[in-house]
């Protein structure tokens, strides 16, 4: 159950629409499914508005594939800035940089499209869920390689117990919902 305590009514509604799916995608993982939340106009708007409100100063939003794209694009539109997708391998026609990183089980990579980030451009990173923080850490490393100045990270939901923010402790990480 999510913590409803301090939240305003539309955010409470959003929190109530997070669906817990046990043993997905592997036994032992409690997957926090945000699709019912995103499908609800009021809840999705409340989350995106709050993410935009919490956003540090930025000239560009970077979204992490793939669920992060949905929040990143909406937040960028609210902030009046552009959005750049950090993609899984094999998706981009022109790659500027890539990072390879360890997940709980196995490895993954993220790639930065060529020609989308200017040197020292202020970028905020957006994802749907902060879990162990490995993906967010890799995204920050990738943007750093690309010359960006990371001003912070925004997530819709943080799984606090996994302490993912400790892996990106030198960045300002803001979460709208926590559990
Ligand atoms: P992380 O462990 O922070 O690197 O999480 C990797 C990605 O997997 C994040 O971008 C989340 O979208 C997703 N993720 C990890 N754990 C969960 C979970 N329990 N529920 C929902 N999404 C998750």
Which CATH number fits the domain 56-178, given the four candidates 2.30.110.10, 3.40.50.2020, 2.60.40.10, 3.40.50.300? 3.40.50.2020
Cα of 178 vs centre of ligand 1, distance in Å, is 13
Q: pLDDT confidence of 6, banded at 50, 70, 90?
A: confident
- Alpha-carbon dihedral angle through residues 133, 138, 140, 143, given to the nearest 10 degrees: -160
SS3 84: strand
Listed by start position, the domains of the chain span: 56-178
CB 37 within 8 A of CB 47: yes
Convert the pLDDT of each residue in 135-158 to its tens digit. Answer: 999 999 999 999 999 999 999 999
Q: Has this prediction a pTM greater than 0.85? A: yes
| 169 dihedral zone (left: phi>0; alpha: psi -120 to 50; beta) | alpha
Residue of 67, 78, 118, 163 marked active site: 67
CB 141 within 8 A of CB 110: no
């Amino acid at each position: 159950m999510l913590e409803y305590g301090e939240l305003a009514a539309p955010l409470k509604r959003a929190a109530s629409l997070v669906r817990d799916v046990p043993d997905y995608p592997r036994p032992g993982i409690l997957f926090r499914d945000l699709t019912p939340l995103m499908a609800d106009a009021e809840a999705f708007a409340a989350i995106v508005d709050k993410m935009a409100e919490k956003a540090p100063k930025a000239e560009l939003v970077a979204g992490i594939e793939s669920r992060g794209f949905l929040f990143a694009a909406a937040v960028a539109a609210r902030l009046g800035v552009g959005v750049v997708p950090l993609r899984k391998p094999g998706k981009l026609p022109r790659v500027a940089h890539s990072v390879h990183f360890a997940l709980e089980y196995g490895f993954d990579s993220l790639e930065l499209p060529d020609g989308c980030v200017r040197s020292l451009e202020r970028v905020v990173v957006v994802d749907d869920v902060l879990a162990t923080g490995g993906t967010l850490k890799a995204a920050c490393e990738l943007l750093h390689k690309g010359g960006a100045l990371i001003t912070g990270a925004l997530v819709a939901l943080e799984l606090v117990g996994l302490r993912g923010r400790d892996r990106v402790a030198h960045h300002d990480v803001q979460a709208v919902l926590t559990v």
